[in-house]
Amino acid sequence: MTAEERGGAGPPERPEPGGAGGRDEALVTIKVRAGGPLKVTGPVRLVDHEGRPLRVRGDDLVLCRCGRSADKPFCDGSHRRPPGIDATGDDQGPASSSA
């Protein structure tokens, strides 16, 4: 059923695995790493929030999912550090609140 047949509601249909003729035709692969970043393999164009292209070297990139990277949107391995430790290795201590 197409989006038009659904009245434009609901998620888009996903293609069948393997593509036409049983071949895997994916040009880009996004691998979700358990507890870590997204590894993107294949030719992609990455743009910032205003549509400006970001420089990407090669066909592989690793994108941050934890939000702790100092090099967003790219992963810098921050997900491996315990909470409260910043990118320099300094202990930031518990969050404080003002009363």
**3-state DSSP of 53-80:** ECCCCCCEEEECCCCCCCCCCECCCHHH
Query: Per the domain annotation, does 74 fall within a domain?
Result: yes
Query: Per the domain annotation, does 40 fall within a domain?
Result: yes
Omega cis (within 30) before 83: no
Query: Per the domain annotation, does 7 fall within a domain?
Result: no
> What is the spatial distance between Cα 26 and Cα 81, in angstroms, rounded to a whole number?
34
Query: Per the domain annotation, does 19 fall within a domain?
Result: no
> What is the spatial distance between Cα 74 and Cα 65, in angstroms, rounded to a whole number?
9
- Average confidence (pLDDT) over 66-80: 91
* Residues spanned by the domain of 58: 25-79
pTM of the prediction? Answer: 0.57
Query: Per the domain annotation, does 66 fall within a domain?
Result: yes
Share of the chain above pLDDT 90, in %: 35
pLDDT in tens, 42-55: 988 899 999 999 98
Q: 99: pLDDT confidence band, cut at 50, 70 and 90? A: very low
Considering its fold, how many domains does the chain have in total?
Answer: 1
pLDDT in tens, 15-44: 555 555 455 667 899 999 988 999 999 988
Query: Per the domain annotation, does 68 fall within a domain?
Result: yes
Query: Per the domain annotation, does 86 fall within a domain?
Result: no
